[in-house]
Structure 1
Amino acid sequence: MTESVDQLIVLPACDEPLEIVRQEATFVVVNKPTRLLTVPGRHPLNRDSVIARLRETWPDLHAVHRLDFDTSGLVVVPLERRSLSHLSRQFQARTVKKTYTAVVEGLVVEDQGRMEWAMEPDREHRPCSRLSASGKPALTEYRVLSRDTERGTSRLALHPITGRSHQLRLHCKALGHPILGCEFYAPPSVVARADRLLLHANRLSFDHPETGERLTFEVDVPF
């Protein structure tokens, strides 16, 4: 059943600017702030987004990938059809490499590992996902960057091999270490430990749509 407009949530306005990390003729790389949509939402009042802001300069651009509303970090946006097609093929072939930084509850024991749990949409609790043996395969590699014994938290580098909705949030929860500030998958005590979701896409690598040169972009983690 399709939701009516009055059933949709109106998101709070985002006053933070959109940082342009690299601008070229065929694509632009931006650093998205937290609590900004990547693409316009379904509610008319949820139009503010990465794509809507960029369309003020480039009216015909389209998204090739997304970050969650609460997740901040790097997004590449193609500016014309050939680069859209080229980048889409890279995402499909999983040659685009993304690294996220997260702060999670608890001290993760292993210095590195793999989180491999199939997932599917949780239709009774939209927009959440859930683990399911009959779901789509999902794989995340992780590495511990540091452990804070006083606060009882760990800082992780997360490398998603697949790109399922809410994959990093759900995998960290399944590992027993939910991300601080995660309103969907963390208990209230863990949500309250941060004023935002502590998940940031800080590194992005892909092939230049025209030259084929391997490009890597990296931004600071704001927490």
Structure 2
Amino acid sequence: MCVRFWGRRNMVNSAVGVEHFNNTEPVLLSEVIHDVLGVNYEGFKELIWLGAIYVNNYRQTKDKWILEPNSVFRVHTKPRRYPCDYDWKSLVVFQNESFLVLNKPSGIPSHPSVDNAIEDALTQTSLALKVPLLVTHRLDTLTSGLIVYGKQKSFVKNFNIQMLERHVQKKYSALVETADTLPKSLTHYMDPAPGTPKKLSAGYNEGWEICKLEILEQKEMSPGTKWVKINLITGRTHQIRAQMAFLNAPIVGDRLYGAKNAYRANAIALKSHQIEFSFDGKSMKFQLPEDVIQ
């Protein structure tokens, strides 16, 4: 069958690997991906497995006929890949019927991404335990440490309320590139525009989001490198990374924010080592060692 297409366009630079196109008649998904993009069936199966193919903004999970003409196809032809060969059960710090706490490795997202719905901590832990898990909060891909996942929607709702009211206490440890004594309290304002690196201002800008944290402890580890213990008060995207860089004290390994020294592969020297919140009328506190390997 000869399939006719119109309107194929690169909505994003092709180097990023996102392709958009439309159909004019019913098509089999695997065939249209091959005819338009030149992806063979093995490649198609991998993209489907990763969740990198969308039709009319819905993620596709199997090969099927697309009957509606003028459907919008979006294919992430170069999905980001992440190492996930871990014993995920052994990384569970605590669990009950409502939630679990995981010690997330660095180098893997905490939740599914738009181009990869498989290689992330939530999905891998869910598959390992055979229990569906729900997002409550996030950790950056390059950050390691404690993260909470819900098992029940009622827990997630309550946890989110605690987050909004700043009743969830999060502490981080990090290695930063500085010889200076850092202030004990930091307040900045973050540009809400999407994308990274995040832009900060020391003064108030209308519409910018307030960022607050406290440096509870700091000590020199080697010339030009300090260990710091941080109490995160607000929780913006890349907040700790951006605020440390704003002080000319970027986190070791954080090239995006100007770090000069390398850290481990797919990691920065930042760890979520403590989280505390309320559950069923009780305080729940979970902790990892505060050290960050230099």
Does the alignment reach a TM-score above 0.5?
yes
Q: Give SS of 2:134's match.
A: coil
Give the counterpart of 2:118 among 43, 47, 50: 47
Give the counterpart of 1:120 among 180, 191, 194: 191
Larger Cα-atom Rg? 2
Please report the TM-score for the alignment, with normalisation by the length of structure 1. Answer: 0.86
Question: How far is the alpha carbon of 1:41 from its aligned partner?
Answer: 1.3
Contact 1:180/1:194 (<8 A) preserved: no
2:200 corresponds to which residue?
A: 131
For 2:224 and 2:196, locate their aligned partners in 1 and report how far apart those are by CA, in whole Å.
Answer: 29
Give the counterpart of 2:214 among 123, 141, 145: 141
Q: Does 1:72 align with 2:144?
A: yes
For 2:200 and 2:80, locate their aligned partners in 1 and report how far apart those are by CA, in whole Å.
Answer: 28
For 1:122 and 1:129, locate their aligned partners in 2 and report how far apart those are by CA, in whole Å.
Answer: 8
Question: How far is the alpha carbon of 1:193 from its aligned partner?
Answer: 5.2
Question: How far is the alpha carbon of 1:13 from its aligned partner?
Answer: 2.0
Q: Which aligned pairs between 1:1-223 and structure 2 lie closer than 5 A?
A: 3=12, 4=18, 5-6=75-76, 10-18=80-88, 19-44=91-116, 47-56=118-127, 57-110=129-182, 112-121=183-192, 123=194, 126-132=195-201, 133-134=205-206, 135-148=208-221, 150-187=222-259, 189-190=260-261, 192=262, 195=265, 196-208=267-279, 211-220=280-289, 221-223=291-293
Contact 1:58/1:79 (<8 A) preserved: no
Please report the TM-score for the alignment, with normalisation by the length of structure 2. Answer: 0.67
| Percent of residue pairs bearing the same amino acid type | 25
Structure 1 unaligned blocks of 5 or more = none
For 1:103 and 1:222, locate their aligned partners in 2 and report how far apart those are by CA, in whole Å.
Answer: 7
Question: How far is the alpha carbon of 1:167 from its aligned partner?
Answer: 0.3
Equivalenced residue count is 214
For 2:142 and 2:100, locate their aligned partners in 1 and report how far apart those are by CA, in whole Å.
Answer: 21
For 1:89 and 1:58, locate their aligned partners in 2 and report how far apart those are by CA, in whole Å.
Answer: 27
Question: How far is the alpha carbon of 1:36 from its aligned partner?
Answer: 1.1
For 1:7 and 1:177, locate their aligned partners in 2 and report how far apart those are by CA, in whole Å.
Answer: 37
Say which is worse superposed, 16-25 or 196-205, in terms of deviation: 16-25
* Residue deviations 1:157-201 (CA, integer Å, cap 9, x gap): 1111111100000000111211000121024x23x2554300000
* Residue deviations 1:93-139 (CA, integer Å, cap 9, x gap): 110000000000022314x511111002455xx33211143411111
* Residue deviations 1:4-42 (CA, integer Å, cap 9, x gap): 244765133233443000011111011000011111111
Contact 1:35/1:71 (<8 A) preserved: yes
Contact 2:263/2:269 (<8 A) preserved: no
Contact 2:172/2:270 (<8 A) preserved: yes
Question: How far is the alpha carbon of 1:152 from its aligned partner?
Answer: 1.9
Q: Give SS of 1:98's match.
A: strand
Question: How far is the alpha carbon of 1:62 from its aligned partner?
Answer: 1.2
Structure 2 unaligned blocks of 5 or more = 1-9, 13-17, 19-74
The residue identity in structure 2 corresponding to 1:200 is K
